[in-house]
Amino acid sequence: MKVLAFAASNSQNSINKMLATYAANLIKGAEIEVLDINDYEMPIFSDVREAQLGQPQQAQDFFKKLGEADAIIISYAEHNGSYTAAFKNLFDWTSRIDMKLYQNKPILMLATSPGPGGAASVLASAAGSAHYFAADVKATLSIPSFFDNFDVKKQVLTNRELNEKLQAAVALLSL
Ligand SMILES: Cc1cc2nc3c(=O)[nH]c(=O)nc-3n(C[C@H](O)[C@H](O)[C@H](O)COP(=O)(O)O)c2cc1C
């Protein structure tokens, strides 16, 4: 089973990347690839740029990566209640190749932030619109107060209750 995991963040120290990586590693025997969306950076989408550039290679490559996966784990960072600009730009360009960009893949949607809200707003937004983009969302989970619940040194989710919820959510990907 090929699992593609990434954070919807371009932070070099992304806590969502830590969470997505941790979650992917809970799937025993899976072949895991962790993407960095910095590798798919493009100019900010506009109709004029699209007319000039067509479908940029980065968007094509990202679309292909999604298509090659058996399951996808995305952990959303929240900026002002919504997607990060970096992810939204990648999402917009890729949706112009095919609006059904998730290609009916089973998806686990996660989100975390240092605050008690746990990036729940962006997670609700992503999950709520997922069907338009052919995402087969198996589970969603927000991890609040990241630094209270995740040991960054050990790269482990230390909150037992949240860990059990994450294990259960991850298990749904391979059903
Ligand atoms: C411009 C900006 C807006 C933010 N807005 C929110 C927000 O609405 N909700 C929230 O929980 N955290 C917010 N944060 C804090 C982020 O959750 C925090 O930076 C987190 O580390 C982002 O995840 P990442 O490390 O995976 O990029 C914001 C941070 C920035 C820089």
DSSP 99: S
Instruction: Assess whether pLDDT exceeds 80 at residue 175.
Output: no
Dihedral sign for Cα 93, 36, 23, 117, please.
Answer: negative
Neighbours of 39 (CB within 10 A): 12
Please give the distance, rounded to the nearest whole angstrom, from the Cα atom of residue 90 to the centre of ligand 1. 18
Assigned superfamily of 2-174: Flavodoxin domain (3.40.50.360)
* Contact of 20 with 146, CB cutoff 8 Å: no
Please give the distance, rounded to the nearest whole angstrom, from the Cα atom of residue 172 to the centre of ligand 1. 28
Mean pLDDT over the full length of the chain: 98
Q: Ligand 1 within 6 A of 145 CB? A: no
Determine the residue of 19, 76, 113, 150 to mutate for testing ligand 1's pocket, defined as the one with the most ligand atoms within 8 A of the Cβ atom. Answer: 113
Domain boundaries, the chain: 2-174
Q: What pLDDT is attached to residue 174?
A: 86
Residue 16 CA: nearest ligand 1 atom is 26
* Contact of 76 with 122, CB cutoff 8 Å: yes
State how beta strands 105-112 and 71-76 pair.
Answer: parallel
Residue 19 CA: nearest ligand 1 atom is 26
pLDDT tens for residues 133-156?
A: 999 999 999 999 999 999 999 999
Q: For 114-174, give the DSSP string.
A: SSTTTTHHHHHHHHHHGGGGTEEEEEEEEE-SHHHHEETTTTEE--HHHHHHHHHHHHGGG
Q: What is the pTM of this model?
A: 0.98
% of the chain residues with pLDDT over 70: 99
DSSP 44: P
